[in-house]
Chain A
């Protein structure tokens, strides 16, 4: 079993009240799935605002594991490494021009902007 690693978690400003008014948290976890489980368990309001009633991610939220949208990962059973981070954010869905930083980023996590209802769709904002 992999050793627990300390990672940082970035929280959107609108939801900072769910984490004691902190925009950045530190978590100890061995895998990505483990980290998310600990994050939701320790901050139930954050979990509520990121998930629908059935437990899926709300349509217009994004979670990045480093530069990867976790919706595009095949598995959350990934061993964490020093320097890893999780970034929680809202999708900027539909209509807005691509942010120049986003346009320059490798493998931008963009689905079809024409389908705002599709989970994970829309253009993205750069991580804070």
Chain B
């Protein structure tokens, strides 16, 4: 039997929504991990399903919680990512968890603030810093954005697990060809937000970075300064903004069954950071970003709350199901590739992350 699980990580805990694959009737569980700020959630299917949630607190620091029974019980990992003693900063938040390739079932990557990448080879029990990134020569001029100096996107080439990309706010895109040992900056064609003195190639504010799982040379990003695509593994980037009313925004997802289908939620300017005129609108491209079209049917008429970078997910079903949450705690979904939307009846805390998974019971 298949069920659909939508995870909603908020400032005050984790909520789980369950449905059958018709996606009409939903059951809400939560708050789980009550009181903790949930930055990232991952259901790792590569062996027995394991649900991970990065749960942080401005007082007690960040941690990683693990559930092996789909959210019923949780255990905190005793050795979360932490910089070694000789590094002059400590991990403030764990922004993302990314599974390694299918053939590396114990491998997980964690992107953190202050920006760096950690790898675990044993399902999260132990972590190692990848110093080639966090001690990159350009590190001396990395400056964080409004959300901090965060490594929020980590991508693994499904055809070549030694090839990795990361996205760091206000710094840019980096790529590794050797499993994370060394990294090169990949920002050509992107517009800067910060001018660096010694490392002019950084200062690019990537908000969300995606990889086409069927064509791993093709990447997409919602950036502070626009929406971009690369068809050469990040070597060069080009604008894909035809039909968009605003370039600014945070979330971006693609349909894994048809990665030419992209979805974003533009916001009005980096200064205002608000939904334009309260007309909450998802923009969809069906041609890998060549053109974008608005989707408003069923969305609230007056909704000004924004959508954070990880607060949008897709379920991998056909037709494509989409889910997103707002900073005001609204949760919305579509079960037909974005044509029609529905707002759930819940009012949740500020929503940081939304993911969706098909679960076999």
Binding site for B on A (CB under 8 A): 13-15, 17-18, 44-45, 48-50, 52-53, 58, 60-61, 90-91
The residue that B82 contacts in the complex, of A15, A53, A90, A91, with Cβ under 8 A, is A53
The complex places the Cα of A44 from the Cα of B82 at a distance, in Å, of: 15
The residue that A58 contacts in the complex, of B60, B76, B80, with Cβ under 8 A, is B60
**Are B76 and A61 interface neighbours, CB within 8 A?**
no
User: Across chains A and B, which 6 residue pairs bring their CB atoms closest together, nearest first?
Assistant: A49-B60, A53-B90, A90-B59, A60-B59, A14-B35, A45-B76
Contacts A45-B76, A49-B61, A90-B59 supplied; 12 other A-B pairs, CB < 8 Å = A13-B35, A14-B36, A15-B60, A17-B76, A18-B76, A48-B63, A48-B78, A52-B61, A53-B83, A53-B90, A58-B61, A60-B58
The residue that A48 contacts in the complex, of B35, B59, B61, B74, with Cβ under 8 A, is B61
Residues of B within 8 A of A18 (CB): 76
**CB of B25 within 8 Å of the partner chain:** no
Q: Mark B51-80, 1 if CB is under 8 A from A, else 0.
A: 000000111110100000000001010101
The complex places the Cα of A45 from the Cα of B75 at a distance, in Å, of: 11
Residues of B within 8 A of A58 (CB): 59-61
**CB of B85 within 8 Å of the partner chain:** yes
Residues of A within 8 A of B78 (CB): 44-45, 48
Instruction: Closest A residue to B85 by CB, please name it.
Output: A53
With A45-B78, A53-B82, A53-B83 as contacts: A61 and B59 at CB distance below 8 Å: yes
Measured between C-beta atoms, what is the minimum distance from B63 to chain A in Å? 7
The residue that A90 contacts in the complex, of B60, B74, B76, with Cβ under 8 A, is B60
With A45-B76, A52-B90 as contacts: A14 and B82 at CB distance below 8 Å: no
The complex places the Cα of A91 from the Cα of B60 at a distance, in Å, of: 11
Of residues 83 through 102 on chain B, the ones whose CB sits less than 8 Å from some CB of chain A are 83, 85, 90
**Are B85 and A14 interface neighbours, CB within 8 A?**
no
Instruction: Closest A residue to B77 by CB, please name it.
Output: A45
Pick the most buried of B35, B61, B63, B90: most chain A CB atoms within 10 A of its CB: B61
Residues of A within 8 A of B35 (CB): 13-14
Measured between C-beta atoms, what is the minimum distance from B338 to chain A in Å? 38
Measured between C-beta atoms, what is the minimum distance from A120 to chain B in Å? 13
The complex places the Cα of A58 from the Cα of B343 at a distance, in Å, of: 40
Measured between C-beta atoms, what is the minimum distance from B351 to chain A in Å? 20
Query: Please, could you name 11 A-B residue pairs with CB atoms under 8 Å apart, sorted by A?
Result: A13-B35, A14-B57, A44-B78, A48-B61, A49-B60, A52-B90, A53-B85, A53-B90, A60-B59, A61-B59, A90-B60
Pick the most buried of A13, A49, A61: most chain B CB atoms within 10 A of its CB: A49
The complex places the Cα of A18 from the Cα of B63 at a distance, in Å, of: 12
The complex places the Cα of A114 from the Cα of B173 at a distance, in Å, of: 38
The complex places the Cα of A122 from the Cα of B80 at a distance, in Å, of: 28
**Are B76 and A50 interface neighbours, CB within 8 A?**
no
**Are B90 and A14 interface neighbours, CB within 8 A?**
no
Residues of A within 8 A of B59 (CB): 58, 60-61, 90-91
Measured between C-beta atoms, what is the minimum distance from B253 to chain A in Å? 31
Of residues 33 through 62 on chain B, the ones whose CB sits less than 8 Å from some CB of chain A are 35-36, 57-61
Residues of B within 8 A of A53 (CB): 82-83, 85, 90
The complex places the Cα of A64 from the Cα of B63 at a distance, in Å, of: 24
Measured between C-beta atoms, what is the minimum distance from B31 to chain A in Å? 12
With A52-B90, A53-B83, A53-B90 as contacts: A17 and B60 at CB distance below 8 Å: no
Residues of A within 8 A of B60 (CB): 14-15, 49-50, 58, 61, 90
Residues of A within 8 A of B74 (CB): 17
Instruction: Closest A residue to B91 by CB, please name it.
Output: A53
Residues of B within 8 A of A14 (CB): 35-36, 57, 60
Residues of A within 8 A of B36 (CB): 14
Measured between C-beta atoms, what is the minimum distance from A117 to chain B in Å? 12
The complex places the Cα of A91 from the Cα of B61 at a distance, in Å, of: 14
Instruction: Closest B residue to A53 by CB, please name it.
Output: B90
The complex places the Cα of A15 from the Cα of B63 at a distance, in Å, of: 11
Q: Mark B167-197, 1 if CB is under 8 A from A, else 0.
A: 0000000000000000000000000000000
Residues of A within 8 A of B82 (CB): 53
The complex places the Cα of A13 from the Cα of B60 at a distance, in Å, of: 12
Residues of A within 8 A of B58 (CB): 60
